[in-house]
Structure 1
Amino acid sequence: MTASEKFTLGLRSFATVITKGVFEITHSSFALIGLAVIFGIITLTARPELRQLGEVKLFSWLQTRQIVETGFESQLDAIDRATASNPQDLPKQQAAVAFWLSKKYRVAPEPLSALVAEAYKISQHSNLDPTLILAVMAVESGFNPFAQSPVGAQGLMQVMTHVHKDKYENFGGQFAAFDPLTNLRVGVKVLQECIQRAGSMEGGLRYYVGAANIEDDGGYAGKVMAEHTRLQMVAKGRTVPIFRPQVAPAPAPRAAENETVAAVFNS
């Protein structure tokens, strides 16, 4: 055997030994990792408090990483606080109303869909047409849940919060006036009481706007009834032209509302 062949054979033997060593070390490492994982699982199963502590630490670390990478904390439950739904999930009649209102008042169809669905749900036990409820919202606030009139009427239905604060007690207090669905429910209750007291829809609307004791309601009842009629036609599948308001709906005339509404509901 020549010197060159001996060198080549020795090099091959060295490579074989190195390869076997690396395999055995790697294999042993994987085995050790596997054993560590198994013992870790057994420990965490036997010691729930350690598992809980580990989960808290891991969640805290993930939050920290999220803040570092995005600049704000991840809140996956935010979707649960959103007043919105997919208009495609609504019945055909309700979806038509939601899309029509969305186009006219330039409001996203998703939150409008949630309001339309709630109006139809409430109508079942309030004896009020859902399109009337939606018409009141349209005229009162243009579907702005944070609207406020000069005399303190607030939210979608422009409820006088300080007059009807008792109605918000079941919803956690007066700040619930700015929760769209709560304001809708309280507003419907007030409207229902107004109509019952007046004995007619038009008269109830005058009470609602605080114009029961004055001659001119500023055309409020007429505006609501006209929008109510349009929405009824939309709900029936009719094609109804959209005439957008030139400006955002102004608060209904409530000059005497403080005194009128308080007198109506506190008497």
Structure 2
Amino acid sequence: MKQLALFRKNIQTLLADMGNGIVTVTHSGLAMVGLAVSVCVVVLALRPDYLVEGEAFVYNWLRERHVSLWWMPDNAVDRVTAADLSILPKSQADVATWLARKYRVAPEPLGALVAEAHVLAVSSKLPAHLILAVMAIESSFHPYVQSKAGAQGLMQVMPKVHAKRYEEFGGKLAAFDPITNLRVGVSVLVDCIKLKGGNVDDGLRFYLGGDSAAAGADGYVARVKAEQTNIDAVAAGQWVAVP
């Protein structure tokens, strides 16, 4: 009996020691967690940029792993055709601002189109301001406009005629994407000028009317050239009145 009582006492002592140890460790762990949280709060209060960077890191990490973020709005900024004018060369920013005022559209989308026109000018060997002038006369920089004949978008490209040109961009509906329409329109204009032996005026007439001589083709060419002259002047720092 004495041995059984001694055994029970030893077991009780062991369990008591284990319980005290668990309490001590838990208490210490909670204290450390509390201390860590306090430090984080202080750091984030002093450096809120850390919080922003941390949120961005977690958000991107979850998106990369296709974790559903139903509570977060979709970031559409990457899909927007617009540019901060402050990052453009001054001449391009001035042109975008002038065109925005004249055609009553927002300057940021115009900034993206102006920048893209300069990129396309390199590959197409066409003046960037000629490209912008064609857009101005064709659509007044409204990407969803459609003519009676069915020409669509900024450069008023006929989707039925030039469907193959849109295939690499996903199909004819890409005509309503401003940058895609611009690229396709420039490719069409380049071909029109080549078909006319490199003569820009004849190429513009062909761009307007195709094989047939479109009514008012000469007036169209004159308007495009006049607008190109205006844009040239604005880019050069000259004042050009807005109607």
Q: Same fold (TM over 0.5)?
A: yes
Look up the match of 1:208: 207
Listed as ranges, the matches of 1:116-195 within 5 Å are 116-195=114-193
CA contact (8 A) 2:141 2:154 kept: yes
Task: Please state how far the C-alpha of 1:29 moved relative to its aligned partner.
Answer: 5.1
Q: Check conservation: 2:133, 2:228, Cα contact below 8 A.
A: yes
| 1:112 counterpart (90, 110, 113) | 110
Runs of 4+ displaced beyond 6 Å: none
**Which residue of 1 is the match for residue 90 of structure 2?**
92
Task: Assess if the C-alpha contact under 8 Å between 1:155 and 1:180 holds in 2.
Answer: yes
Normalising to structure 2: TM-score of the pair? 0.71
Give the CA RMSD over aligned residues. 2.7
Q: Is there any run of 5+ residues in structure 1 with no aligned partner, and where?
A: 1-24, 36-54, 67-72, 244-267
2: CA distance, partners of 1:215 / 1:144: 23
- Are the structure 2 counterparts of residues 196 and 131 from structure 1 closer, same or farther at C-alpha, using a change threshold of 3 Å? same
Distance 1:191 1:220, change over 3 A: same
User: Could you tell me how far apart the structure 2 residues matched to 1:81 and 1:92 are?
Assistant: 25
**Equivalence for 1:231:** 231
Q: Is the 8 A contact 1:203 1:212 kept in 2?
A: no
**What is the identity percentage for the equivalent residue pairs of Structure 1 and Structure 2?**
51
Following superposition, the deviation at residue 213 of structure 1 comes to 2.9
CA drift of 1:237 comes to 1.1
Task: For residues 12-49 of structure 1, give each alpha carbon's deviation from its aligned partner in whole angstroms, at most 9, with x where no partner exists.
Answer: xxxxxxxxxxxxx89945725968xxxxxxxxxxxxxx
Unaligned runs of 5+ in 2: 1-22, 34-61
Q: Secondary structure, in 3 states, of the residue corresponding to 1:206?
A: helix
CA distance in 1, matches of 2:73, 2:230: 43
Verify the 8 A CA contact 1:211 1:217 in the aligned structure 2: no
Q: Which residue of structure 2 lines up, in the alignment, with residue 250 of structure 1?
A: none
Instruction: Report Cα offsets for 1:73-101 as digits up to 9, x if no partner.
Output: 6112x111000110111011111111110
Q: How many residues matched? A: 191
- CA drift of 1:168 comes to 0.8
1:38 is aligned to none
Q: Please report how far the alpha carbon of residue 214 of structure 1 lies from its aligned counterpart in structure 2 after TM superposition.
A: 2.8
1:217 Cα shift?
2.2
